[in-house]
Structures are given as C-alpha cells and as structure tokens.
Chains A and B, each alone.
Chain A
Amino acid sequence: MAAAEAGAPLVEATHLTKRYGDFVAVDDLTFRVGAGEIYGLLGPNGAGKTTTILMLLGLSEPSDGEARVIGLDPARDPLEVKRRVGYLPDSVGFYGRLSGRENLDYTARLNGLDPTESTARIVELLEQVRLTDAADHPADTYSRGMLQRLGVADALVKDPQILILDEPTTSIDPAGVAELLDLIQSLARDRGLAVLLSSHLLSQVEQLCDRVGIFSHGRLVAEGRVSELADRAGDPGLSLDEVYRRLAAQAEEERRDDAA
C-alpha cells in the first residue's frame, strides 16, 4: 500500500507523447489522478484518449515523457501494473461460447488468483452488475449493455486499485448509461478506487467526474472541475458540451497562431 499513501497520485502522466511517424497522437500530456477520484478524459474520437490509456497500461510505448501508475513505470514493469489496474477496453468483447461466469473465471486465473476466493468474488461481482440470472448463459447471447456491465465486472475481478474505462457508455441505451454510471460511481466510492474514464459523450459523464481533462488533437486543452471550466469558458451556467466547444475553438485558434 506504500505507493498509494494519501495524496500521492495513483496515475501520473508527465509530458507524455506518442508519435506514429509524423502524426502526433498524444502531445505533451500531463495530468494526475488521485485515490478515490473519478477523472474524465474527454474529447472527440481520434483525440488520443485510447492511445493515452494504452500507454498507461504498458500496452504501447510512449515516444516521449513518462507515465507512472502506482509509482511504477508501465513501459518497464507492465505485468505489475496490469496486476493492479482494471481495464475496460473500448467495445469490449468476450469469448462467445463461454458463459459470463467462465469469462470472468478466465480473467481470475490469468491473474493467478486463488480459485476459491475468486469464485466467491465473481459471484459477488455478477450480483453487483445484475448479471446473476444470465451468468451461466453463453456470452454470445448477451446484449451490448450486458457485455459492457460484464466488462466492468471483468475489470474488477483482480481487485484493482485503479479502474480505467475506455468509452464505457458507447453503444448502450440512455437508461443503461445512467445505470452503468451509477454503478461506476458507487464502486469507486465503496472501494476507494481511482477511476480514469474516457468519453466523447461529454454530457453523459459530466455529473460523474470529480475532474475532467479536455482533449483535442492529442493535447489537453483544459483541466479542472466541471464548474471551474464553465467559469473559464466565460459562463458558469454552461453545459460541458458548450464548454468543450468554446475551449476547443480557443485551442484551435492558438494552434493556428503558433503555426503561422
């Protein structure tokens, strides 16, 4: 627990940069997420959110800068990072011929968890994501929303300190979104998790996030509490969508000025 002492950030990116040839996917990104905090990485598709997440997990190597997860460098120590971080990928998939329970069980075994403990844990998690009735049906028969909820349970099987959710709300209906976000919030509170979630649907997640970072073309154009950002954009009553539009426009202008 030493690394997670009060105040120490669980996720820390410093000047993180990822280049693919000439294309800069993530440009000089710096942010932190502390324990018990829900941080929203917001921005349109292609802004570099998934790339950032992959670098934090050690699944992609940064071209420049450094990531720290629970004090570890994911590029050097990926296995230890993966042991402690639960990850729900964008459009998560499961083995269709295995049941939901078997899929979670596979994850538990890949993490080397004790079988008796993990079995009980999986029962509890399936209960929490309301999949107990469907637990033994093949994952092929699940709806998109059920798969997404199973994905949340899957990310929690290893009892992580950090939960990373990539676009958790895409392709589920609005009722499902509200339910999923409630679930994430209560889980984060109960377990004191640091949650990093990415989304391009700003209005959906603004109530959930303690802090947000707004992403555009690989750059973090603004960061802070939703209310602070609304102030900065010029009107405290603005919705996050509007805030985003104004801040992104500002950043775009600055970028053009820089280039000129």
Chain B
Amino acid sequence: MTTQLEAAEAPAARPADSDWLHRRGPGWVVVMRKELAEGLTSLRFAILLGLLALAAAAPVYAASGAIRDAAEGASGVAALFLALFTIGADPVPSFVALVGFVAPLLGIAFGFDAINGERAQGTLPRLLSQPIHRDDVINGKFAAGLAMIAVAVTGMMLLVAGIGILRLGIVPSPVEVLRLASWLLLTIVYIGVWLSFATLCSVLVRRAATSALIAIGVWLVLSLFGVLLAQLVAGMIDPSGATATGTGALGHAQLEQQLSSISPNTLYSQATTALLNPSATAVTVPGLQQLIQLSQQIPTQLSLDQSLLVAWPQIVILVAVTVGCFVGAYVAFLRQEVRA
C-alpha cells in the first residue's frame, strides 16, 4: 500500500515515458490528454478544420484582386500584408470577419456537451470516483478544446499568409507579424469566452441539445440583435438623445456604445480594429474633448504598443467574462449531485 501511495505522490521521479499519452501528470493534464486524443480524431474536429479552411481560402481568392489594386493604387499604403486578412471582396467577407463570425460557434461546438455529455454517456460517476478534483474535469476539457481550436486557427492563418506571400508576393514586415500574432492571441481569448460559456451551459443544462441551443441562442442575440438592443435600451434610458444634436447626440452614442460593450462580439471587433488597423487611434465613440483632439490630429500610424493600449480595455473585459463563466461552472458543478 505504501509503495503505491508513494508512487502516486511522486510521479515526477519516474523516467519519462516515450508515449506522451501515457505519461502521468496532475488530474487536469490527464483529462486534457484524453480529450485531445479523442477529439483530434473526431468528426467535430474535421468539421472545424473544414469550416476554417473555407474561411481562409474564400477571402484570399476572392480578395486578391482588391488587394492588388490597393497595392498598385498606393505605394503609401502601410501595412499592406495586414490587408490580406482584413480586405474582403464584396460577397465574401475578409478572413478576419469570417473568423470573428465562426469563432463563437467553434467555442460552443467544443464546449456545449462537456459535462452533460459525460452524464448522458454514464461515464460521469465513474470519472468522479477517481482521485481527481471536479475542477480538473472542467479545466482539462477546456484546455483540450481551446488547444484544438487554437491549433486549427493558427494553421489557417499561416495558410492565408503563405498563399498571400506566394500568390501576391507581399512580404510581411516584423511589426505586421507581431500585430497578427497579437490578433491571434485575442482571437483565442475570444474563443475561450464562448468555450467557457458553453461549458457553463453544459454544467447547468442536463440535455446536450438544449445546452447547445441556449449557447447558440445567446450568441445569435448578441451578434445579430446586440446593436439593436443597445439602441432600444439607450432610447429608453435617454429618450431625448436619439434626436438631439451636438453633445446630446454624442452622449447618446456613447451610452449606446457602452451598452453594446456588454456583448463580447462588440469587444472583439473593437479590439480587432485596434490591432489590425494601425491608423485606428480610438475604437469607441469619443467624448467631446477627445473629439476635438481627434479632429486636430494629423492622420498617423500607431505603433504596436499604442494599438495594444487602445485594445487593452476590451481584452481585459473578455478575460474577465471568461473567468466569470469559469467560476460559475465550478460552483455549479461542485454543488451538483453526481447522478441525474
């Protein structure tokens, strides 16, 4: 008995096993490895890759003409390589817009059945009767889901970059590479928001189908009707502002903006604009003082750290939302009975 216990407590003392799947680690790492092994061969992952491949290929082919025009028209266009990701040709949106659109769906697809799926399969009591904490299950599944999506998104981004370099002969500058890398991180955080929200749904709702519907419903409401709702609520709070001019209109616009900032979609698109558009000096509606400053400003290119500063509040809120969903999922899961 003692030898077994010691072995269990000192896993690091053993020589590393060649098969990474069989190496031991803390509970959440074991859960993550298993989820990865199962997930990478799943239909779900194949669909994810297919979706992202479409999102990558379509804009690059459709927009290459537009990008060439931009390149020819103005040698002064700074950050031309970024245009590869941000320019779309009419029916087809840009890569960035497409990723922004499918990212929440990916997060939901990998999280909506995290816990209730185990329940439905009858594996939850067996899993929880092993010597791991309940949060190990949530952490492991979240880490595995995020890792899979992140790898796929990164791969597709590299694909777009590769096609751009080969077909259009545009070579990125180091700053552009850094901007894209920080946008990639932002996107992964954004996917994490939806993954953690879907995980929360999977804890709270017993049926996987219901949980998926709720998560997708919330996403639809926020992305399609978010602006509409913000206008509606702003109109109720400040009825005179909608028709006012001058400072009144400005205040109304700011109120609307603040309301729509509740939606992660808005936050993500604001931060995206800041990171991928070096001339964006502000992504929210400015106050009167700022407006005067902005009107006197000479159009300029921000350096990356200045752009990051512009996007920083949005990133912080996105992380906070993720943390909030996580805490909710932990607490709900801890209080739940193991059986249905």
Task: State whether A109 touches B122 (Cβ < 8 A).
Answer: no
Task: State whether A60 touches B337 (Cβ < 8 A).
Answer: yes
Task: State whether B11 touches A95 (Cβ < 8 A).
Answer: no
Q: Which residue on chain A has the smallest CB distance to residue B133?
A: A79
Interface bits B120-164 vs A (CB < 8 Å: 1, else 0): 011101111111110000000000000000000000000000000
Residues from chain B with Cβ under 8 Å of A112 in the complex: 7-8, 11, 24, 131
| Interface set of A (CB-CB < 8 Å, partner B) | 1, 50, 54, 57, 59-60, 79-80, 82-83, 85, 87, 89-98, 105-107, 109-115, 151, 154, 158-159, 161
A201 to B228, CA, bound (A): 61
A60 to B1, CA, bound (A): 26
A111 to B8, CA, bound (A): 7
Residues from chain A with Cβ under 8 Å of B69 in the complex: none
Task: State whether A50 touches B123 (Cβ < 8 A).
Answer: no
A204 to B259, CA, bound (A): 65
Task: State whether B30 touches A110 (Cβ < 8 A).
Answer: yes
Q: Which residue on chain A has the smallest CB distance to residue B17?
A: A115
Q: From residue A148, how far is it (CB to closest CB) to chain B in Å?
A: 12
Chain B residues numbered 6-31 whose CB sits less than 8 Å from any CB in chain A: 7-8, 11, 14, 17, 19, 22-24, 27, 30-31
Give how many A-B residue pairs fall within 8 Å (CB-CB).
Answer: 94
Interface bits B44-60 vs A (CB < 8 Å: 1, else 0): 00000000000000000
A151 to B123, CA, bound (A): 11
A112 to B130, CA, bound (A): 10
Choose one: B7, B129, B337; the contact of A114 (CB below 8 Å).
B7
A97 to B34, CA, bound (A): 11
Q: From residue B303, how far is it (CB to closest CB) to chain A in Å?
A: 47
Task: State whether A110 touches B22 (Cβ < 8 A).
Answer: no
Task: State whether B11 touches A93 (Cβ < 8 A).
Answer: no
Residue from B31, B126, B133, B337 having most chain A Cβ neighbours under 10 A: B126
Q: Which residue on chain B has the smallest CB distance to residue A119?
A: B22
Residues from chain A with Cβ under 8 Å of B1 in the complex: 1, 161
Residues from chain A with Cβ under 8 Å of B42 in the complex: 97
Task: State whether B27 touches A110 (Cβ < 8 A).
Answer: yes
Name 20 interchain pairs, CB-CB below 8 A, sorted by A. A57-B129, A59-B128, A59-B338, A60-B338, A82-B129, A82-B131, A83-B131, A90-B339, A92-B125, A93-B122, A93-B126, A94-B121, A94-B123, A95-B38, A95-B121, A96-B121, A107-B126, A110-B130, A113-B8, A114-B7
A1 to B14, CA, bound (A): 24
A170 to B273, CA, bound (A): 60
Task: State whether A93 touches B4 (Cβ < 8 A).
Answer: no
Knowing A82-B130, A89-B126, A98-B38, say if A115 contacts B338 (CB, 8 Å).
Answer: no
Q: From residue B335, how far is it (CB to closest CB) to chain A in Å?
A: 10
Q: From residue B135, how far is it (CB to closest CB) to chain A in Å?
A: 13
Task: State whether B131 touches A80 (Cβ < 8 A).
Answer: yes
Task: State whether B130 touches A50 (Cβ < 8 A).
Answer: no
A85 to B128, CA, bound (A): 12
A91 to B5, CA, bound (A): 30
Q: Which residue on chain B has the smallest CB distance to residue A107?
A: B130
Q: From residue A121, how far is it (CB to closest CB) to chain B in Å?
A: 12
Residues from chain B with Cβ under 8 Å of A161 in the complex: 1
Task: State whether B4 touches A59 (Cβ < 8 A).
Answer: no
A87 to B130, CA, bound (A): 9
Q: Which residue on chain B has the smallest CB distance to residue A147?
A: B122
Residues from chain A with Cβ under 8 Å of B127 in the complex: 110
Q: From residue A155, how far is it (CB to closest CB) to chain B in Å?
A: 9
Task: State whether A109 touches B22 (Cβ < 8 A).
Answer: yes
A115 to B11, CA, bound (A): 11
A161 to B339, CA, bound (A): 24
Q: From residue B116, how far is it (CB to closest CB) to chain A in Å?
A: 13
A57 to B124, CA, bound (A): 14
Residue from B2, B42, B337 having most chain A Cβ neighbours under 10 A: B337
A151 to B5, CA, bound (A): 23
Chain B residues numbered 286-340 whose CB sits less than 8 Å from any CB in chain A: 337-339
A161 to B1, CA, bound (A): 9
Q: From residue B9, how far is it (CB to closest CB) to chain A in Å?
A: 8
Q: From residue A87, how far is it (CB to closest CB) to chain B in Å?
A: 4
A80 to B4, CA, bound (A): 12
Task: State whether A50 touches B339 (Cβ < 8 A).
Answer: yes
Residues from chain B with Cβ under 8 Å of A82 in the complex: 129-131
Residues from chain B with Cβ under 8 Å of A54 in the complex: 337-339
Residue from B4, B23, B132 having most chain A Cβ neighbours under 10 A: B4
Residues from chain B with Cβ under 8 Å of A92 in the complex: 122, 125-126
Q: From residue A200, how far is it (CB to closest CB) to chain B in Å?
A: 16
A91 to B125, CA, bound (A): 10
Q: Which residue on chain B has the smallest CB distance to residue A2?
A: B1
Q: From residue A175, how far is it (CB to closest CB) to chain B in Å?
A: 23
Q: From residue B141, how far is it (CB to closest CB) to chain A in Å?
A: 13
Residue from A57, A94, A110 having most chain B Cβ neighbours under 10 A: A110
Task: State whether A110 touches B38 (Cβ < 8 A).
Answer: no
Q: Which residue on chain A has the smallest CB distance to residue B38?
A: A97
Q: From residue B34, how far is it (CB to closest CB) to chain A in Å?
A: 5
Q: Which residue on chain B has the smallest CB distance to residue A96?
A: B121
Q: Which residue on chain A has the smallest CB distance to residue B23?
A: A115
A154 to B129, CA, bound (A): 11
Task: State whether B129 touches A89 (Cβ < 8 A).
Answer: yes
Task: With A80-B131, A106-B34, A112-B11 given, name 18 new contacts (CB 8 A).
Answer: A54-B338, A54-B339, A59-B125, A60-B338, A79-B131, A83-B5, A83-B8, A89-B125, A92-B126, A94-B122, A94-B123, A95-B123, A97-B42, A107-B130, A110-B127, A111-B8, A113-B7, A115-B23
